[in-house]
Chains A and B, each alone.
Chain A
Amino acid sequence: MTTLKRIGLIAAAALLVLAPASVAQVSDYHDIKTPPLRQFQPPQPKRIALANGMVIFLQEDHELPLIRGSARIRGGERDTAAAKAGLTDIYGSAWRTGGTESKTGDQLDEFLESRAARIETNANEDASSINLDVLKGDFDTVLPIFVELLQKPAFRQDKIDLAKTQANTMISRRNDDPQTILVREASKLAFGADSPYARVPEYATIAAITRDDLLAFHKRFVVPNNIVIGFVGDFDSAKMEKKLRDTFGSWKRGADAPAAVTSGTPARPGVYYVSKDDVTQANIAAVHLGGPLRSSPDYPAIAVMNEILSGGFSGRLMNHIRSQMGLAYGVGGGLAVAWDRPSAFNVFMSTKSQSTVEAIDAVKAEVGNLQSKPFTPEELSLAKDTILNRYIFTMDSPSKILNQQLLLEFYHYPADFWQKYPTAIEKVSAADVERVARKYVRPNDLAILVVGNDKEFDKPLSTVGNVTKIDVTIPEPGAAAKKPEAAAATAAPAAPAATTAEGSALASKVRDFVGGKSVVDSIHSTRLVRSATVKTPQGDMEMEIEETLRYPDTQRQVMKTPMGEITVVVGPNAAFMAGPMGTRDLPASQRDAMKAENKLDLLTVLKNIESPAYAFAVGGDEKVGDVSAKVLTVTTEGTTVKWFVDPASGKLLRTVRSGRMGEQSLDYTSWKKSGDLNLPAAFTMTTNGEKSGSGELKSIEINPTLDAKLFEKPAEK
């Protein structure tokens, strides 16, 4: 061996030693070596099945001093009546905000947030859930709330009303954003507008939801055999298991949730158009019903097909329609595969108005290509490599693994479902993908939905196919007249004493405006002081009126006038007047008139919306100032008051009734909150078309302690 060669070898050896620290430069990424991935056995959660059917998963994770828990409960919107669409929205919200038997929702807020703890509830189409997230030191004080919400929720009416306000707001805003319209209407086309998987709440269906409905839903579904619970975090599993067994072990079983319902009647193939003129883009969807469940042996091949069509930035849709044609920012889709319910094939995109038809053609071509353009070996291997190499990210944290197990249990799938998935993907061949594409994708059955401004489209939509226009106008509460029960009322105008759906919805709206059912119902007495100016033949007279009402039927008015103080009491046991001229019983006619008036007092009416003794019907529209008000006729025992209501807010603008002094109308010019109750703070009065006075609220006491003597006729002197 020559010296030269030896030096060379030493140098080479030195380089070898240096190699780990000094990385060899590559110029082609194919030359970069991929070491085998470290063997990784993700820790599986402990599964505990209680005798009552509840299944608990425990997953320890000691990285951070946190504990998170989640209970998922079978039963959701698809198990409720269409006439109460939106029930689970209200339920999911009021479950938590409405508090428990022992604490109001507001008290829970203070208790939890001061500990940086969170408990939230939710409900969707097939499940409700309650989640907890807490610093581990607070777990034992917070868990009882989680349990009480599960077992003894209160659904207080004020928070139901709040949830309804929010739900109505969502309805009012649902046509503002074109993508919201697209997703909603595409679902209706795919599953049928009557399907529980596509239907949407309306004002009337929200108004129809009652507290009893929520309690019934809870009672029906929240039973241990419908619940799967998981906890992950910094705890000891053995101790946690004991704690949870002690807590939930004695809970009684109930009925199992029903199996998934099927879809409705999908739309016919064709073009559907929603007009929206405040946009510069057309939003486009192409859908048809029909994907198998995840339990299908076709699922792995479908996953590969979806990856080829729309995986990441390199799928066919992105590659052709975005990168090569520059037609869209967002485009994607695929054949949805659900756990237990019908699903759809769908493609979504948006493009400038001027390339709408060009884009639709491009989407249709890509869908057709799934059946006509062979899947290349390059496409197949890219899709499979992507799915397999990315598989590690489905289990890279303890909480992800826990959630996987929780879902498998929830939908009654085998626990090793995901373990078998990579092998199944490896086996997928081009022939398999072609087969599922032919089996499930139906290019000729697509319903194509376009939301946009057709005045700016490149070509008329009719060049694509038969166009059906979709009217997305939001039915105002009044429009519920189309419903059968209201139609009956319209057909028989001679019987106004029948409450219409529209009428009771509008009355409820007013009640919401005033504070909501629970607030209104919680009031048993009020004391109001008003100042008033009343027109008299002698000129304006100032007075102060103190009005004490003991619901349902007793009233005391004290009027302080320049001429002295007059007290009037009307109740079931007495009806008298007391003043400078002494005390005397009211004449029967006046007594009865005042009693009738009391029955139409604002709060009395609002307490009786559900009462068969009261009837609510909606007449026409009338202007009050700038507002187009709905006229609500309230009738009880033959007397009537007309309420002029702002249909948007439920604000009572005017009341009109015929009484002792002719037709008297009150315009409420301002409202004031005291506590949770919202009452008229100022009004002007018109009698027989002439302004006759005005007044304002000076003070109000809710549920004051009342001396029974107030309503008793003083002994004669």
Chain B
Amino acid sequence: MRPVRKNLWPAVWLLLTLATSSLWAQDLASFEKRITLKKLDNGLTLIVLERPTAPVFSYVTWVNAGSANEVPGITGLAHMFEHMAFKGTDKIGTTNYAAEAVALQKVEDTYAAYDRERRRETGRDAAKVAELEKAWKDAIAEAGKFVQTDEFSKVVDRAGGAGMNAFTASDETVFFYSMPSNRFELWAYLESERFLHPVFREFYKERDVVTEERRMRTESSPVGRLLEQFLATAFIAHPYGFPTVGWPSDLKDFSATDAKNFFHKYYVPSNMVVVVVGDVKAAEALPIMEKYFGRLPKAPQPEPLRTIEPKQNAEKTVVLRETAQPIFLEGFHRPAVTDPDAEVYEVISMLMSNGRTSRLYKSLVRDQKIAAFAQGFNGFPGEKYPSLFTFIAATTKGHTPAEISAAIDEELTALKTTDVTPEELQSVKTRAKAQLLRQLDSNNGLALQLASYQTMFGDWRELFRSVDRIDKVTAADVKRVANVTFIPSNRTIAYIDNSKPAQTAPKPAAEAPAAKGAAK
């Protein structure tokens, strides 16, 4: 994005920003001094930020692949691999890898046979299915004999690893934890081995765990059910319409072989960024990282997505008849985060719902008292590709989604017809800067931010530059963008209606995504 700016010399850029907002330029300058970026021969990007406050560090491995890289039949696979990355390696989690590898291959072979038979559309032989299923389960039991359950997690825990987790979203899969600084080399080993020699052990049991995650987040939650229907309706072509956790049929069916194929295609060094923040010295840390992560084999960058969501030409409404209290959602298609208007959308989202002076709070929550909360936010379910500007609100007792819809409409009309006042705009800009500042105070938070911007824009500095771009947004920009975005034919509405009880209780058929990010 913004090729003109990208070609500017950093120094020139610094001078420019110094002139407009010195505080932020200082921060950028101070981070420039403390950040070292190295791109390895295999294409992997490493970033080290020295922040020697306490003898600890945090890391983030950001993989530029998520559920948007799935196709029908394998939905949920990106998230499934995220879970597999905690299952150990050929050296951790096994009593005898050579034998285990043979047993695991047998699991895959028996599963393929069983799966083929059970999915047969005509002439399926129930006895044969049962027999093949038994062979598969026997193979699983055999492979299980070599497993040391959760050994990988135990090694991290014992070394003092804190906050170990991961999440999968539409755009990315992200792994992270923190460790005492003296465990740096152990970390570099573990984290590189996890992607160098992953073993897909206990895959089918973990598939059950992920299915439970789906039941918890989506099927048994009214908001989960609503979000799933909302996205599936708003996107007719682009994979942003898929639930990150996967459709139930796919979760019941995909195999470790499918996961392995996905892994080999997308978990390539050129598609990953590893960021370390904390009490480490780049001069010492980078050679260690290079030694371990340099072992990841070079592989071609995955092909970019082909499908682009076509322009919406019909307003869509989804109604979930439930016994739960109403929730209202509406989304408008908007361009990707790399679009020149990205910051205008950011300003709109702050105008609408950042704080108690925001328009939605004042109108829907404070004055009309029709909403318990009302938020407008950007980039749902992702940001990498054209996505949705989404509003979500919960009615207060006795009020209806129709009232919410009308009240949001009124605020959108105001955005389109009346210039935002200079005071309101300035207040938003001040808060945008402070918001960034407040994100810079933890190792983990910094690592996530740097990895995210490095992946999304190819340059972590965009984290600071985007605030400067927010500073340049004008009242005319807001009006212009509101007028092209907030129009009925670009809208998808989804809400829970409890005024008429459902004919039947919602069944697993109503499925939804794990909002943004399903934690392991």
Contacts and interface: CB of A to CB of B under 8 A. Distances in A.
Contacts of A42: 54
Contacts of A314: 150, 153-154, 157
Contacts of A453: 505
Contacts of A649: 397-399
Number of chain A interface residues as a range:
35 or more
Contacts of A326: 205-209, 212
Contacts of A673: 367-368
Contacts of A277: 505
A352 interface: yes
B449 interface: no
Given A34-B183, A37-B182, A38-B279, A135 B434 contact: yes
A709 interface: no
Contacts of A395: 54
Contacts of B160: 385-386, 388-393
Given A23-B288, A397-B53, A673-B367, A178 B180 contact: no
A392 B430 contact: no
A144 B434 CA distance: 21
Interface in A309-329: 311-314, 318-319, 322-329
A281 B212 contact: yes
B189 A389 contact: no
A351 interface: yes
Interface in B385-435: 394-399, 423, 426-427, 430-431, 433-435
B397 A169 contact: yes
Number of chain B interface residues as a range:
35 or more
B150 A116 contact: no
A28 interface: yes
A176 B395 CA distance: 13
B393 to A, nearest CB: 11
Interface in B436-456: 437-438, 440-443
Interface stretch (A59-67, A124-132, A409-417): A59-67
B23 interface: yes
Given A169-B396, A278-B222, A28 B441 contact: no
A672 to B, nearest CB: 12
A168 B397 contact: yes
B287 interface: yes
B222 A324 contact: no
Contacts of A135: 434, 437
Interface string A382-410: 10011011111101111000000000000
A32 B185 contact: yes
A646 B398 contact: yes
B205 A324 contact: yes
B252 interface: no
Interface stretch (B109-117, B298-306, B317-325): B317-325
A382 B426 contact: no
A445 interface: no
A271 B517 CA distance: 35
A36 interface: yes
A23 B54 CA distance: 25
Contacts of B202: 323
A180 B396 CA distance: 18
A649 B355 CA distance: 26
A330 interface: yes
A352 B215 contact: yes
A23 B158 contact: no
B506 interface: yes
A390 B163 CA distance: 10
Contacts of A3: none
B474 interface: no
B91 A22 contact: no
A202 to B, nearest CB: 13
Contacts of A176: 222, 324-325
B159 A312 contact: no
A33 B365 CA distance: 57
B164 interface: yes
A382 B160 CA distance: 10
Contacts of A23: 185, 287-288, 291-292
A398 B155 CA distance: 29
A23 B184 CA distance: 12
A40 B182 CA distance: 12
10 contacts: A37-B180, A114-B426, A169-B325, A173-B394, A178-B221, A278-B505, A279-B220, A326-B206, A386-B157, A390-B160
Interface of B: 23, 53-56, 86, 91-92, 149-150, 153-155, 157-162, 164, 178, 180-183, 185-186, 189-190, 202, 205-213, 215-216, 219-223, 279, 284, 287-288, 291-292, 322-325, 355-357, 365-369, 372, 394-399, 423, 426-427, 430-431, 433-435, 437-438, 440-443, 505-508
Interface of A: 20-23, 25-29, 32-38, 40, 42, 63-66, 97, 105-106, 109-110, 113-116, 133, 135, 162, 165-166, 168-173, 176-179, 277-281, 283, 311-314, 318-319, 322-330, 350-352, 381-382, 385-386, 388-393, 395-398, 453, 512, 646, 648-651, 673, 676
Given A23-B292, A166-B396, 6 more contacts: A27-B91, A29-B190, A311-B157, A313-B153, A324-B149, A382-B158
Q: Which 3 A-B pairs have the closest CB atoms?
A: A389-B160, A649-B398, A648-B398
